[in-house]
Amino acid sequence: MTNKTANKPDVIADYNGYDYKKIFWEDADRKYEDMADRMAIRRLLPSTMDQFVDIAGGYGRLADEYLPRAKTATLFDYSETELAQAREKYGSILKTKAGDIYQLPFADNSFDALMMVRATHHFKDMQKVSDELYRVLKPGGVAVIEVANKKTLPKMFRYWFKHSEVNPFSLGPAHLKDLNENGFYNYHPKYIEGIFKNSGFKIDQVLSVSNFRSAKLKKVFGTKNLVRMEKGAQKILAPVRFAPSIYYRLVK
């Protein structure tokens, strides 16, 4: 995958002109990851919502999970390319808005609930992002946020056996420049949880998600079996923050 660097230095990935839907999801074997995300979202999102926004939601991959629960839903993203794909599929039932994650184009206390999935790894200043999410959420509102986990077992083994210089135990974020042209940011759970608390959020629930994200495991067990295993693992492994994706249900 090639991400284009935007003019703004704080924007890590610009997906304008990049068919993320086809290249990353449809052309790759990521059915398990998609189903694991959906499982977590169903568990964490409120059953009913008045005003909801999907932050950095791309082409609306997960819109089917929140549209039935929300009276009004908005899809926000930096990429006009992805928002156009969402409008083509959902039409007027899903509002779309483009803009800068660090200066969200929404008034204070706008939403009862929000979601941000598979986006934190692109952000250089997570504290600023967290503060903006807190700002646009109504008091008592719920934020469901997925975070790329720095402290996973495979990363520990790579570090122990000197296959990686990234220390999964250090609290600072890891900038994984080797992944693509611009690199991704991964976060230690204690670090990211401190950021949420600094913004004013209360951590209400945590899930460990995509616990079996491995090409080898997919070949051995198959997607259906991995999803069955995932169902129990999300809650059981949450206390140790095991998976590459950690989901947080936060309350303002």
* Alpha-helix runs per DSSP H in the chain: 20, 31-44, 63-66, 80-90, 126-136, 153-160, 189-199, 215-221, 223-236
Query: Per-residue pLDDT tens for 87-141?
Result: 999 999 999 999 999 999 999 999 999 999 999 999 989 999 999 999 999 999 9
Return the SS3 of 96.
strand
Q: What is the second-level CATH architecture of the domain 20-251? A: 3-Layer(aba) Sandwich (3.40)
Predicted confidence band of residue 179 (pLDDT cuts 50, 70, 90)? very low
Query: Does the reported pTM lie above 0.85?
Result: yes
Q: For the chain, what's the residue count?
A: 252
**Token pair recorded at residue 7:** 């003019």
Starting at the earlier edge strand, list the strands of the sheet with 245-251: 95-98, 70-77, 49-55, 111-116, 137-148, 245-251, 202-209
What is the mean predicted confidence (pLDDT) over 140-162? 94
pLDDT > 80? residue 163: yes
Residue whose token pair is 């135990």: 169
